Amino acid sequence: MKQVLQNLRSGVTEVAEVPGLMVGPGQVLIQSRCSLISAGSERMLVEFGKAGFIGKVRSQPDKVKQVLDKIKTDGLLPTMETVFARLDEPMPLGYCNAGVVLEVGAGVTEFAPGDRVVSNGSHAEMVCIPKNLCAKIPDGVSDAQAAFTVLSSIGLQGIRLLEPSFGERFVVYGLGLIGLVAVQLLRANGCEVLGIDINPDRLRQAEQYGAETCLAGGEGDPVTAAASWTLGRGVDGVLITAAAKTDAIMHEAAQMCRKRGRVVLVGVVGLNLRRPDFYEKEITFQVSCSYGPGRYDEKYEQGGQDYPFGFVRWTEQRNFEAVLLALQTGRLAVDELISHRLPLSEAARAYELISKDPDALGVILEYPREVERSRKISLPTASYSGTGRAITGVIGAGAFSKLFLAPCMAKTNARMKYVADLDAGAALHLARKHGGEHAVTDYRIILDDPEVNAVLIAVGHHLHARFVCEVLAAGKHVFVEKPLAMNINELSQILAAAAQKPDCTITVGFNRRFSPHTMKMAQILAGRNEPLSMNFTANAGIIPPDHWVQDPARGGGRIIGEVCHFIDLMAYLARSPIKTVAATMMGGPVAIHEDKMSIVLGFEDGSVGTVNYFGNGSKSYPKEMMEVFSEGRVLRLDNFRKTIGYGFKGFRHFKTMRLDKGHNAEFAAFAAGIAAGGSALIPLDQLVNATLASFAAVTAARENRMIVIKEEYAALFGELSSATT
């Protein structure tokens, strides 16, 4: 299928051939008929992409401090590589889609194949959308008219926040698509409207909908016009739908209002607010969030959990339905807002129109009736020859794959035969950039290919165990990014699957044991005669409570999801399994307790280790530091950039040019191991030990007790024995 993508780094907009989509639980697969280009937000994205690097920096000053902090901790080169990798990601354009349902996923009863629906899907021949972000198109509403639904809902949500009542007077500042829709919806509410814009054609259009108008930026003064229009009383409220960098619009909006008036911002303008403007008249100011309640709530949008009708009357979906009803009854008219109709193949030209043609308003993209639905596309790559190589498939094209997995694997001798992701554009980009032979949206294509001998898994934590078991069942070696599992049941399932496929190995992405700093420390400590005392501090940074990592069902929490790294590192340096685990976490009035924890590990050889994992520190402070005390000597690891020795003969310090947490060495060793055959890169019992220790840390902190690993998880060790013999 074809999809419109933009590269934020180069600014190139393309209609790319991407693999067809799979429908998941709670989702609706839609074949597009029409989509509307937003001349506001989409034009801003395109202009951002076309700007040079300095222009991008100037347009996002809030990001500059984050970059500077990262340079301090990680160094210049890794930071710039991360920035450019982020900019290089393909951005799917569009969010106003109308089409026909092809398939529905499990749990979807509201829609059926053949239904005409609107959604916030992108400009693509097929889109796969959660059910709460879709609504049925009623009879009498054309596909092109329906394509205005999502954009109109943005204006409708702003109006709801204004709380208009019959006879009130409102200003709509900015008469683009959303502004002209808002004029009509306010008029339908029985309100009088004054429309303000710099484009005379837009003013004439607003007048056709019954609005009074004022030309901004010319000889007319919007504040004076509003005062005259209200006989000096001031307007009841202002809806700002304009896009401008100036603060003047907010200043004027406040001046126009009566005492206790309302200002709602839908567009993007300067927000250097002047206190007297709002203080003296007690003006209410609110920013409207997109389509309505539910926006950016993952449980509503992705999980399909609706808000109770009696308590949240208007959600995103119900706003869609209200707009569609207004279109059907004629209270909202959009045909005159359509300035251009172009086929999808001319999408690049369409974006040129909205950027350069002042008369371009509603630009509709139209789609062919026949669509290629293959979930696999082949890419032109160099021919591969020879045997005894790792032939890989990658499942997951998210941030970790983009920043580490794919770039590191591309440096090895392995073939990257497949990249799979439900996001077709992401799969295409990763495969195209790093020499992948095929981009697919159905991971089962990888499992069914007998030539593939290794699969790399970089998906959500809650899917790790499932995919590990499926890959093993397919008879392939597996690399899975940490954690290996999120609970005992998942770990038990993996061990059962491993027992069935003893010739297949499991590798977990415990990359820090492959860092040159770790290797140097292990080499220096190799001749020791006594146990080690170790201390690791992770300045993990703040992650909000509603982030997926903090969700026990999706991320497993930060201890299980990340601290397993540091636990494995200590076990590797001690050359000994973890025997006991004790932990305590922060109490008191904090949103998240478990990401501020101290964990004490006891090892079978007598070594001890403490992991201080704190999620309440500063980003400008180094993220990871470690101290190892041994026989009158000390090693200090500083953020995997510098290792210093105290009291060692012949060793004072070891530096690397850049932060090196071992990713390159890890993937090189994995690829070489698959090609050569033989034992697992990391023994399974070590993977299980580190995983169990992370489970034990959470339990120990919650129950305030010390846990003996082999006693707490005795049943699992029998399963481990079966999997390793």
Residues 506 and 516 in one domain: no
Residues 500 and 572 in one domain: no
Instruction: Please report whether residue 19 resides in a domain.
Output: yes
Separation CA 461–CA 481 (nearest Å): 9
Distances (CA, A) of 119 to 20, 95, 291: 18, 7, 11
Q: Is 476 part of any domain?
A: yes
Does 555 share its domain with 675? yes
Residue-level pLDDT at 66: 63
User: What's the rounded mean pLDDT across residues 410-415?
Assistant: 93
The whole-angstrom separation of Cα 521 and Cα 200 is 72
**pTM to 2 decimals?**
0.89
Alpha-carbon span 268 to 271, nearest angstrom = 9
Phi, psi of 10 (to 5 degrees): -95, -20
Q: Which of 69-78, 199-208, 312-321 has the lowest mean pLDDT?
A: 69-78
Region 462-473 average pLDDT: 98
CATH number at residue 651: 3.30.360.10
What is the Cα gyration radius of the chain?
29
DSSP state of 559: I
Last residue of a domain, one of 459, 487, 510: 510
pLDDT at residue 80 tops 80: no
Q: Read off the pLDDT of each residue in 649-656 and give the average, rounded to a whole number.
A: 94
Regarding whether 302 and 259 lie in a shared domain, the answer is no
Note whether residue 379 is domain-resident.
Answer: no
Check whether residue 117 and residue 175 sit in a common domain. Answer: no
| Within-domain flag for 33 | yes
- Write out pLDDT tens, residues 478-535: 999 999 999 999 999 999 999 999 999 999 999 999 999 999 999 999 989 999 999 9
Q: pLDDT value at position 47? A: 64
498 with 536, same domain? no
CATH number for the domain that contains residue 471: 3.40.50.720
> Mean pLDDT for the chain?
92
Q: Residue 440 CB: number of other CB atoms within 10 A?
A: 28
* Count of domains forming the chain: 4
Q: What are the tens digits of pLDDT across the range 123-176?
A: 999 999 999 999 999 999 999 999 999 999 999 999 999 999 999 999 999 999
Locate all alpha helices (DSSP H) within 51-148, ordered by sequence: 53-59, 61-74, 76-87, 143-146
Residue 654 sits in the same domain as residue 633: yes
Rounded CA separation 566/626 (Å): 10
Boundary (domain end) residue, out of 263, 287, 311: 287
What is the percentage of the chain residues whose pLDDT exceeds 70? 92
Q: What is the rounded average pLDDT of the residues 243-261?
A: 94
Q: Which residue has the tokens 């049943």?
A: 715
Q: How many C-beta atoms lie closer than 10 Å to residue 558's C-beta?
A: 22
The answer on pLDDT for 714 being more than 70 is: yes
Residues 559 and 603 in one domain: yes
DSSP alpha helices (H): ranges in 101-237?
A: 143-146, 149-162, 177-188, 200-208, 222-229
CB burial of residue 535 (10 Å; 0-12, 13-18, 19+): middle
Helix axes 177-188, 149-162, angle to 10 degrees: 50
Q: Cite the beta strand spans of 591-630 per DSSP E.
A: 596-603, 608-614, 624-630
Q: Is the pLDDT of residue 41 over 90?
A: no
Q: Do residue 336 and residue 419 come from a single domain?
A: no
Look at 34-43, 480-489, 705-714 and tell me which has the smallest mean pLDDT.
34-43
> Rounded to an integer, what distance in angstroms lies between the CA atom of residue 21 and that of residue 606?
54
DSSP letters, 385-406, are: --SS--EEEEE--SHHIIIIIH
Q: What is the pLDDT of residues 670-687, one digit of tens each?
A: 999 999 988 899 999 999
**What is the three-class DSSP state of 222?**
helix
Are 415 and 314 contained in the same domain? no
**What's the Cα-to-Cα distance from 382 to each of 429, 435, 628, 666, rounded to whole Å?**
17, 8, 47, 25
Q: Band of the pLDDT at 56, cuts 50, 70, 90?
A: very low
From residue 180, alpha-carbon distances to 12, 332, 538 in Å are: 30, 10, 52
CATH number at residue 108: 3.90.180.10
- The verdict on whether omega for the bond into residue 113 sits within 30 degrees of 0, i.e. cis, is no
196 lies in some domain: yes
Same-domain check for residues 137 and 167: no
283-311 pLDDT, tens digit each: 999 999 999 999 999 899 999 999 999 99
Q: What number is the average pLDDT over the span 449-468? A: 97
Name which of 554, 553, 558 is nearest 592 in CA terms: 558
413 falls within a domain = yes
Q: Is the pLDDT of residue 68 over 70?
A: no
Is residue 592, in this structure, part of any structural domain at all?
yes
Of 308, 333, 365, the residue at which a domain comes to its end is 365
Residue 378 placed within a domain:
no
Domain that holds residue 577: 512-724
Same domain, 573 and 607: yes
Question: How confident is the model over 520-552, as pLDDT tens digits?
Answer: 999 999 989 999 999 999 999 999 998 999 999
Task: Find residue 419's DSSP bridge partners.
Answer: 394, 439
Examine the pLDDT at 55 and tell me if it is beyond 60.
no
Mean pLDDT, to the nearest integer, of 220-237? 94
